[in-house]
Structure 1
């Protein structure tokens, strides 16, 4: 079974305050061309469900087209951390991360999909070292950021980069049960970009 964990892109899709809102409109209609409808989109690279490249927060970091695609396809473990103000290393003491390359955190903190959240849980930067030690290379969240919304230092972003952990943000996980799935969340091949929207799905394992 395929489970769509992407946030929908439309005129009501919230984006980071001050960033470019998403829009779609027809450049040409079938009535005008006589054959086809042709549309155009305008969007931030970080709207809804998206991948951050290290270049987003490090001017010498890898851009989105330089990231290995195998990061974004393969088995992933969904971990429920709902109702936690801070997600810490201790929260994984009872989680078996053996052989887990991709972890997805379900916080349930982004309640209204049409409004940008006023606050989100904090992810302890020390998680970066834990994930490196366990072999985790991708961390997905149902939040617009892995750092506090008012952070300027982006400590968790930098910790993840230093420990080889890549970032998938803005997932929709309210309908997903904890457990192991197969993830597909491929970013677009945008040359030199700081991020990319993705269509993220989970597939149940038999």
Structure 2
């Protein structure tokens, strides 16, 4: 059974403040005498469900195509529930009760509940949401030595009201060794994602030397 974790990317996709909106512009038009209709699509690499590569916040660090494959399959991914309100941070103490459940995973996702308002209130989803405290990445390296991907159901691990702390969180995930890449704005609404491990499959929409890229991601349940 496959569960889609990626949101559709379109002109109405919520974006972290300051991110350029998607543009769709006609490149050729039958109406104007061309032989076909074609569209020029422009979007920021950090739009929709996307992956942050280390180069996003770390000078001379790895890019998408240097770290990933066109198809990426991660065994034993885990999603845990840590519900937060407003712009409250997820801190190491929130994760501690799940240590035994997540210690062997390469991909960890946290369902904060932020995704519940994505469609109904996209402005709040993009600006007032749970975020990840800068102490979390090193704590995860300590208890999850195999961890290479971290994702959540908020638009970013950073929130505008704590912008500096959010930058520190990004650097602590992406710039230290081993690097933990981020998957943000993930649809974790399915109840089947918690209480069991599953196979993560994801595909970069653009496979090149970029600092971030939208991904098509799926959870494949075992059995």
Task: Tell me which interval the TM-score lies in, with the shorter structure as reference length.
Answer: 0.7 to 0.9
Residue number among 197, 204, 215 corresponding to 1:198 in the alignment: 215
Distance verdict in 2 for CA 1:176–1:196, change over 3 Å: farther
Q: Does 1:151 align with 2:163?
A: yes
Distance verdict in 2 for CA 1:12–1:122, change over 3 Å: closer
Q: Does 1:68 align with 2:77?
A: no
Asked if structure 2 preserves the Cα contact closer than 8 Å seen for 1:147 and 1:155, the reply is no
The runs of 5 or more residues in structure 1 that have no matched partner are none
Q: Does 1:112 align with 2:121?
A: no
Partner of 1:82: 83
For 1:133-172, what aligned pairs fall within 5 Å after superposition?
133=142, 134=144, 135-149=146-160, 150-152=162-164, 154-161=167-174, 162-163=176-177, 164-172=179-187
Distance verdict in 2 for CA 1:26–1:204, change over 3 Å: farther
How far is the alpha carbon of 1:38 from its aligned partner? 3.2
TM-score normalised to the size of structure 2? 0.80
More helix by share: 2
Count of residues in correspondence between the two structures: 204
Partner of 2:188: 173
Q: What value does the CA root-mean-square deviation take over the aligned residues?
A: 2.4
How far is the alpha carbon of 1:176 from its aligned partner? 4.1
Provide the secondary structure at the position in 1 that maps to 2:84: coil
The runs of 5 or more residues in structure 2 that have no matched partner are none
TM-score normalised to the size of structure 1? 0.86
How far is the alpha carbon of 1:107 from its aligned partner? 1.0
